[in-house]
Amino acid sequence: MRRYLFLMFLVSLVGIGPAWGATDPATKLSRGIQNTAFGWFEIINETGNAADKRGFWIGFPEGLMRGTAFGAVRTVAGVFEVISFPFPYGDKGYDAIVLPESAFTRR
């Protein structure tokens, strides 16, 4: 039961943290969980964006490669933020490492 409650608490942070608009440990943790879980979404984003801009035959492979690279970076950054959420990054405080903060935000 404890594990279930803790898991529900962490899942709730994913939706609540970014809505606060402040840079604090909870926001950093929720952003990290979201980027860890949905970093792979960059593959879909970049493939679609490149195919729209350059056409399917050139854009699809280009977007697939870019999306894979961006997804790996976002996932690793998310894991790092989850591990280090209680500690600020020097002058940056609790700001995001990777911009935009979420894979669901359009560039």
H helical segments located in the chain: 2-20, 25-38, 41-54, 56-83
Calculate mean pLDDT across residues 83-95: 89
pLDDT tens string 39-52: 999 999 999 999 99
Does residue 12 surpass a pLDDT of 70?
Answer: no
pLDDT tens string 56-83: 999 999 999 999 999 999 999 999 999 9
How many Cα atoms within 13 Å fall on the side-chain side of residue 63? 20
Torsional sign, CA 96, 83, 35, 47? positive
Structure tokens at 94: 């609790």
> Which pLDDT belongs to residue 2?
64
